[in-house]
Amino acid sequence: MQHVLIIHEVESYPAWKAIFDQAAQIRKDAGEISYQLLRYDTDANHIVHFSRWSSLANARRFFESPELVEIRKKAGVKAPDFIYLDEIEHGVL
């Protein structure tokens, strides 16, 4: 399974979330299968987006696309860090 971990600060979580929700279909069309949103317990505008993808190539193509660069600007995203991950094990305790 392929995952992407994105850590970024946003100017305003409610404004960012509205744009994130509007982009749901383009994320799905690009190959995002599922996601989790988390935030730092001390900063509501510091967001972690953890998502599962059909392939890392699809994820990179999407996240590096000019369209998404513009969407991030509009959403007030500050310097995102992208980490592309291959799952090696999954368990439930």
What tens digit of pLDDT does each residue of 39-85 get? 999 999 999 999 999 999 999 999 999 999 999 999 999 999 999 99
Q: In whole angstroms, what is the distance from residue 34 CA to residue 50 CA? A: 9
Looking at residue 47, its amino acid is I
27 Cβ neighbours under 8 A, 6+ residues apart: 35, 51, 62
Token duo for residue 71: 């969407």
The vertex-35 CA angle with 39 and 42, nearest 5°, equals 5
Q: Torsions phi, psi of 11, nearest 5?
A: -65, -40
pLDDT digits (tens, 9 = 90+) for 8-26: 999 999 999 999 999 999 9
Which amino acid is located at 50 in the chain?
Answer: F
pTM: 0.91
- Give pLDDT, residue 46: 97
